[in-house]
Amino acid sequence: MRGINRNVRAVTLEGKGLLTLKDYPYPELQKGCAIIKMEYSGICGTDKHSFEGFFEQKGGRPIPLPVIQGHENVGIIEEIEGELLDHDGNKLKVGDRVVPAPNISCGKCYACRNNRPYYFCECKLDYGNNIGAGEPPHIFGGWSEYLYILPGSHLFKYPDSLDPRFGVYIEPMSVTACLDKARQWSSEWEPFRSGDTVAILGTGPIGLFHLIKANLMGAGKLISIEPSKFRTSIAQDFGATHIINSDQKEEIKDHIKNITDNVGVDLVVDCSGVAEGFGIALELIREGGMVIEVGIFSNSHEIPINPHTHILEQSARVMGVGGDEISQYYPSVKLLERTIDKLPWEKIISHEYKIENVHEAMDVAMSENSMKVILSP
């Protein structure tokens, strides 16, 4: 592609609710960089928050506009300048199919020096979120024909034997590492142990991945709490034993009492995407139960929490999930490979669109009658 004067089409977020298809120059590669020819990119809850005008996310970091969104990505390496390695240090070549992790950490700040999760980095770069499209090489998000890869990026080779569309699952699947942590922290009476009752509050895509993981880890009663009957139907296909089609707190609490014989849930994973979900989750757990907060990636508003009744009296444990776990990308690929003939993975993708139809795609992704919506060039 070098020396060829051509443009790259990419969907660009320029303001609240304002997505445009723009042309950018095909970039010149710098040393240590690469270009990926995009195949598929998912629409994530984070993308929806930005589209709705929440331009500050984790840590109050602003989203620079214009920006090309899309961080759940899979594609083919088109060009490499110098040597390119995957996350495990294996050499990559042109033609390899890869999943790039969204964040690049600096390696120098306190979090990086002390081996904290890479999304703790004080000056992280985040594909599809905090790297603007205003300056060359512009194309730092997956809703594009090509994605520019910077030095220090974490790349994971994706098997040719798997459907490339499923590559968009790997980033959100890695977020479910919180369930592994809950298992590691569990004691004789604290969740998460085999046979425990687990409720997923909000079984859109990220909630569904947590439901799948909890099921594979041996959850007992597995409850999907979700107003969309379309989504709870898919949750049942992946192992949900109980369905609560509601977003009303008192109604949900009554159902939980009936399902658990007035005991409460061992573990609630809040993937509702709204602040109120956290308050509801705290009222569903048993004494000594646990809430994992996953779904809020923008500072929308505050809710009242009583530390005495919600936390102390319940001896509750709360875990916040700040992002994807880089150590879980290859295990997530392996999980897909092991279960590809056992679980209906194809049902997670409810709609596919070309990038020129992004407005329709976003409208559908914002509705209750969708699961994972993906874009392709």
Query: How far, in Å, CA of 26 to CA of 175, rounded?
Result: 33
**Residue 134 is which amino acid?**
G
Give the count of beta carbons closer than 10 Å to the beta carbon of residue 24: 20
pLDDT in tens, 276-313: 999 999 999 999 999 999 977 666 678 888 888 888 88
Q: Residue 176 pLDDT > 60, yes or no?
A: yes
Beta strand ranges found along the chain (DSSP E): 7-15, 18-25, 34-42, 73-80, 97-100, 103-104, 125-126, 146-149, 155-157, 198-201, 222-225, 242-244, 265-270, 285-293, 317-320, 349-354, 372-376
pLDDT in tens, 35-90: 999 999 999 988 998 999 988 766 667 889 999 999 999 999 999 999 999 999 99
pTM of the model: 0.94
Task: Give the confidence band of 214 by pLDDT, cuts at 50, 70, 90.
Answer: very high
Average pLDDT on 364-374 reads 96
Task: Give the confidence band of 223 by pLDDT, cuts at 50, 70, 90.
Answer: very high
Q: Can you list the domains of the chain with their CATH numbers? A: 7-162+340-376 (3.90.180.10), 175-320 (3.40.50.720)
Q: Residue 119 pLDDT > 90, yes or no?
A: no
Assign 376 to helix, strand or coil: strand
Average pLDDT on 111-122 reads 90
Could you tell me which of 272, 177, 181, 263 has the C-alpha nearest to residue 220?
263
